[in-house]
Amino acid sequence: MRFARPLVRGTLIRRYNRFLADVTLEGGETVTAHCPNPGSMMGLNAPGLAVWLEPTPGPKRKLSHAWRLVEAPGGGWAGIDATAPNRIVAEALAARAIPAVAAYGGVRAEARYGENSRVDFLLTEPGLPPLYLEVKNVHLRREGDWAEFPDCVTARGAKHLRELSAMVAAGARAVMLYVVQRDDCARMRLAADLDPAYAAAFAVARAAGVEAVAHGCALSPEAVTLGAPMPLVDEAR
């Protein structure tokens, strides 16, 4: 997924109201940028961090920039755009570059299923059961090379796990794909201390036959692309 416009570097002043951030650009101008992330952004929202924004010009745009990347503390990149993983995965699905689901050629985004929900991708292939694929954005790192999910309570995420379990019970395949938008992590686990209910729902879903995989990302100010699979350890923090 290439960025539509060259990113510009700045310094984070504050992130507030969940979807807004004040940033001082390198030229000295201070702008309010859209923050496309409803989570806590633990560890990535501290004042003084170097951040990268994408200019978003247009007469219908209320804000002139959107926040995309953080230069992570200790080095490396972190992607904070929670909407990016679906676009990243769509490109990878088109190239059949995700080993766990590479057998499927038919891809339909935002298909209705479950309790008035839409699955991120419904995959089909003649001779194979339909496959329901949910995508989650991961950018939390608290220690070592561990990526963790979630970074705050996500009742919606637990609901998705229950709905995927129901699809398996109906004879379909279901896969939860965690997209780790960091290049300083080599493995992933659940942050059960931040959301015990999600960790419990994950254990139930896995026992019901829901598959779970994690992939890293290659990140730069030019693009974010899906990387190789990384170990997903069924071991909570």
In a domain, 224, yes or no: yes
In a domain, 1, yes or no: no
Q: Which of 11-20, 120-129, 228-237 has the lowest mean pLDDT?
A: 228-237
In a domain, 235, yes or no: no
- pLDDT at residue 237, rounded to an integer: 54
Residue 207 maps to which CATH number?
3.40.1350.60
In a domain, 147, yes or no: yes
Backbone angles phi, psi at 169, to 5 degrees: -60, -25
Average pLDDT of 109-121?
Answer: 90
State the residue range of the domain holding 46.
8-77
Q: How confident is the model at residue 234 (pLDDT cuts 50, 70, 90)?
A: confident
Q: Which neighbouring-strand residues pair with 66?
A: 34, 54
Residues 63, 126, single domain; the answer is no
Residues 72, 166, single domain; the answer is no
Average pLDDT of 45-51?
Answer: 97
In a domain, 172, yes or no: yes
The domain boundary, picked from 53, 77, 101, lies at: 77
In a domain, 173, yes or no: yes
- Cα separation, 207 vs 4, in Å, equals 41
- pLDDT at residue 117, rounded to an integer: 86
Q: How confident is the model at residue 59 (pLDDT cuts 50, 70, 90)?
A: confident
Residues 45, 99, single domain; the answer is no
- Cα separation, 102 vs 128, in Å, equals 12
- Cα separation, 55 vs 31, in Å, equals 11
The count of domains in the chain is: 2
Q: How confident is the model at residue 236 (pLDDT cuts 50, 70, 90)?
A: low
In a domain, 236, yes or no: no
Query: Residue 164 corresponds to which tokens in the numbers above?
Result: 């995927």
- pLDDT at residue 74, rounded to an integer: 83
In a domain, 31, yes or no: yes
- Cα separation, 188 vs 194, in Å, equals 15
- pLDDT at residue 225, rounded to an integer: 97
Average pLDDT of 163-185?
Answer: 97
Residue 32: pLDDT over 80? yes
DSSP label of 93: H
Region of 96 (left: φ > 0; alpha: ψ -120 to 50; beta: rest) is left
- Cα separation, 152 vs 120, in Å, equals 21
Residue 31 maps to which CATH number?
2.40.50.580
Query: Residue 231 corresponds to which tokens in the numbers above?
Result: 């170990």
CA dihedral (92, 96, 98, 99) in degrees, to 10, reads -170
Residues 88, 205, single domain; the answer is yes
Q: What is the pLDDT of residues 182-218, one digit of tens each?
A: 999 999 999 999 999 999 999 999 999 999 999 999 9
Q: For the chain, what is the mean pLDDT?
A: 95
Outline where 100-235 has alpha helix (H).
155-169, 196-208
- pLDDT at residue 235, rounded to an integer: 58
